[in-house]
Structure 1
Amino acid sequence: MIREKAASCHKNLSDYLRMISIKGAIYEVNFHELDELSKQLSQLRFEFNRIGNNINQVAKKVNLIDEVDQEDVEILQDEMSDIQKTIVC
């Protein structure tokens, strides 16, 4: 049973017994959910950067020609829709 516990903690028997005698217990923590959350946050950051870049391009164009055409308005509406979908999901 001790060997099985050592293996489940990814320790050899000697290391496992040493840690038990010093610390009294070994806790195994599963970071899988945290890793998955980190990946999702990274993807969200990427999407927000992409959307921000598109909005900045429209703003730059507006500042250069000092007018807004229908296409620019539609692009901004699409970007806002993407932001809303990203936040809701």
Structure 2
Amino acid sequence: MGQKKRKRYVQFILRTKDEEADKLRRRITLSGKKTFQAYALNMLLEGKVETYDYSELKQLRIEVNRIGQNINQLVRYANTFQDFDQELFVALQEEVKELQQLIVREFKEKEIAKKHGSDQSLSN
């Protein structure tokens, strides 16, 4: 009997650690796919892949660093001249609190703290 010609003849090889292989086997079982090839083909062609753009976060970090430098300059000035305006200090503390709340809100809205989709792409 002659050998049947395969429809899919391009081969990809995947190497994993033992823990990764175990996790992969569990996910294949949960997906209902019968073989690794069926699961991998489905995930690679139709699976959900999430990428994140951290440019906004980097810009925010730069701005926070600048604010920190300004605060350090104010503290240095107050220590040098022993001149301390309590109202200005309270206003500065309020601004820092608002900045903290803004950062937390931004993280929650854009889900930046979320894992990078590692468990989000489980196929049905």
TM-score (norm 1): 0.51
Matched with 2:101 is 84
What is the SS of the residue equivalent to 1:83?
Answer: helix
Q: Is the 8 A contact 1:62 1:68 kept in 2?
A: yes
Distance 1:65 1:75, change over 3 A: same
Aligned length: 69
Does the 8 Å contact 1:58/1:72 carry over to 2?
no
TM-score by length of 2: 0.40
1:44 paired with 2:60, answer yes
Structure 2 stretches lacking a partner, 5+ long: 1-7, 14-36, 107-124
Q: 2:73 matched to 1:57?
A: yes
Alpha-carbon shift at residue 63 of structure 1 (Å): 1.1
Task: Give me the whole-angstrom Cα distance separating, in 1, the residues matched to 2:98 and 2:65.
Answer: 15
Q: Which runs of 5+ in 1 are unaligned?
A: 1-16
CA-CA distance at 1:64 after TM superposition: 0.9
Identical amino acids, percent of aligned pairs: 26
CA RMSD after TM alignment: 2.9
Amino acid in the other structure paired with 1:80: K
Helix, strand or coil: the match of 2:11? helix
Aligned-pair distance for 1:83?
A: 2.6
Q: 2:67 corresponds to which letter in structure 1?
A: I
- Three-state SS of the structure 2 residue aligned to 1:21 is coil
* SS state at 2:83 partner: coil
1:68 maps to what in 2?
84
Give me the whole-angstrom Cα distance separating, in 2, the residues matched to 1:80 and 1:22: 52
